Amino acid sequence: MSEIARKVCMLGDFGVGKTSLVARFVRNTFSDKYLTTVGVKVDSRLVSPAPGTDIKLVIWDIAGKAVLDNLNQNYLRGASGLILVADGTREASLRAALNLAMQARDVIADPACVLFVNKLDLVDRWEASPAVLVEIRRSLAVFETSALSGDGVEAGFAELARKLAP
């Protein structure tokens, strides 16, 4: 392998737009039906966070759940990064994402982590208050994204790649 590969898991509640974000970022190799059967779908994309540095992000899109079960914990093994995804229109999904992050830290030690607050295109209906997001930004890189328009998606993945770069 000429490039470095890093396993990245996407966690978030059901319906927050994880799969749409991945679809925006990568060219799908596998069908989405794996999400409902196996509970995960894996794709990859090569990212260059800095000149001369290539990182292949192997993205495990784990089916949306508010709580990690045993199988999902297995999927997290060996991950170097986490992408937490929340739906800005549902404040509960933000709490679920943070909760999932806490559970994931039991499986993987000190992962590089970013939070995508999705559905920026519906920002006028957001329940997540800016104050909360400001507070979260103190410990976590937060990106306001829209899978529909693509806003913030590339930047979020690039930030994660930068964090994962050796």
Partner 1 sequence: MGDHERLKQLIVGDELAALDAHARRVATLESSHADLPQQLPRLLREAQQGQGRHRLAQALTAPVADALGAAVQSQRHTIVEALFPVIGPAIRKAIAEAMRDFNDNFNRVLESSFTPRGLRWRIESWRTGLPYAQVAMRHALPYRLDHLFLIDRHSGLVIARVSAPDLPDLDADAIAGMLTAIGDFVRDSVGNGEDRGSLDSASVGEHLVWVLTGPRANLAAFVRGAPPAELRTLLRERLEQIHASLDDYPQSLQELTPATQVHLHESLRLDRIDVDAVAQASAQGASAPRRWPLLLLALLVLALLLGWEWRQRQWQGRLDAVTQLLSDWPGLHLDRVDGDIGKRIRVRGLIDASAQPPHTDIRALLPPGIELQLDLRGYVSTDDAIVLRRARRLLDPPAGVRSVVQAGVLNLSGEADAAWAARAREQAERVVGVTGVDTSLLHIASDAQAGLRAEWDRRVQALPTQRVHFVRETEQRDPAELSALLASVQRLRELSPQLQEPLRLQCRGHNDEPGTSATNSELRGRRARWLCAELRNAGVPAADLRTETDDAAANPPTIGERAVSLWLDASPEDE
d(C-alpha 43, C-alpha 60), whole Å: 7
Strand 40-50 versus strand 53-62 pairing type: antiparallel
Annotate each residue in 30-69 with x if it binds partner 1 (CB under 8 A) or - if it does not, as one string. Answer: x---x---xxxxxxx-----------x-x-x---------
Q: Does 70 bind partner 1 (CB under 8 A)?
A: yes
How far is residue 104's CA from residue 25's CA, in Å, rounded to a whole number?
23
| Residue number with CB closer to partner 1 (77 or 137) | 77
Alpha carbons within 13 A on the beta-carbon side of 67: 2
Distance in Å, CB of 138 to partner 1, minimum: 30
Is residue 97 classed exposed, middle or buried when 0-12, 13-18 and 19+ CB atoms within 10 A define those classes?
buried
Paired with 143 in beta bridges are 116
Which one of residues 71, 102, 122, 123 is an interface residue with partner 1 (CB under 8 A)?
Answer: 71
Print the binding letters for residues 74-103 with partner 1: x by CB under 8 A, - otherwise: xx-xxxx-----------------------
**Contact call for residue 11 and partner 1 (CB under 8 A):** no
Give the chain's end-to-end CA distance (angstroms, integer): 15
Binding site for partner 1 (CB under 8 A): 1, 4-7, 29-30, 34, 38-44, 56, 58, 60, 70-71, 74-75, 77-80, 166
